[in-house]
Amino acid sequence: MPSLLDVLGATVVGSLVLLMIFTSLFNMQAISYNTQLQISLSKTSEDLITGRKIGNTDYLGLENILSKVGAGVPESDHPIIEATPNSFKFKGQSNLISSISTYYFVQEDQTDDGYPLYVYQNDMVNPISGPFWMSDPLEISYYDSNNNLIASPDANHDLIRSVEVSLTFFYNTHRPDIDKRLLRHRIVFWKYFKNLYL
C-alpha cells in the first residue's frame, strides 16, 4: 500500500511538472511569435511610409508621395483637391520633366479584413499601391502655417500647410477564433508641404 501511494504521489507530481513544462513552452512560443509579428508589422509600416527598393525598382513611400504636394503646380491652380480625415487628393509633379499628376491617398470602406488604404496616381480606378489593411480608420489632421489644427480642412484648402497622419496596422495573434486578439502597430508621422511655403 505505501508503494502504491508513492507511485500515485510521483504520478501527480510528475504530471504537474510536465504540465508546467508544456504550458511554459507554449507561452514562450506565443510571446516569441507575437514579437516576431510585431517586428514584421513595424517593417511593413516603415516600407509603406518611407518606401523600399525591390530589385532595381523603387517603391515610393507615403512621405515621398506627400512631398510632391504642389510641386510644379502654377499659382493660379490650387494643388489640394480634397482634404478629409481619411482621404487626401492633391496635384504635384513627380519629377522635374514629368507632367503634373493627381495623387489620391484614401482609406476605403471597411471589410471583414479591416480598413483598406490605397494610393492612386492619375488613374483613380487602379491604385499604384495597396490595399494596406488597417485595424482602425486612417486619421489625417491638417494644420495651417502657424501649426493650428484646421477644423474644416475640406472647406479651407488654402490654409493647409502640413498634415499629421496616423496609421494602425495589425495582425492576428496566435489565438484563432475564440478569444481572437489583434496585434497592433500604430505610428504617427508628419509631413510639411514645402512647395506650399514657397
Q: List interacting residues with another protein (CB under 8 A).
A: 6, 13, 17, 20, 24, 27-28, 31-32, 34-35, 38-39, 42, 46, 145-147, 161-162, 185-194, 197-198
Nearer of residues 99 and 147 to another protein, judged by Cβ: 147
Residue 12: half-sphere exposure toward Cβ, Cα within 13 Å: 5
Helices H / strands E in the chain, number of each: 3, 10
Q: Which residue has the cell 495623387?
A: 103
| DSSP label at residue 149 | B
Question: What is the Cα–Cα distance from 192 to 66, expressed in whole angstroms?
Answer: 9
Least CB distance to another protein at residue 40 (A): 10
Nearer of residues 13 and 182 to another protein, judged by Cβ: 13
Least CB distance to another protein at residue 90 (A): 16
Nearer of residues 41 and 119 to another protein, judged by Cβ: 41
Nearer of residues 5 and 96 to another protein, judged by Cβ: 5
Sign of the CA dihedral running 142, 152, 154, 136: positive
Q: Answer whether 95's CB lies under 8 Å from 108's CB.
A: no
Least CB distance to another protein at residue 112 (A): 26
Q: Answer whether 53's CB lies under 8 Å from 42's CB.
A: no
Least CB distance to another protein at residue 183 (A): 11
What is the SS3 assignment for 196?
A: helix
Nearer of residues 40 and 131 to another protein, judged by Cβ: 40
Least CB distance to another protein at residue 158 (A): 15
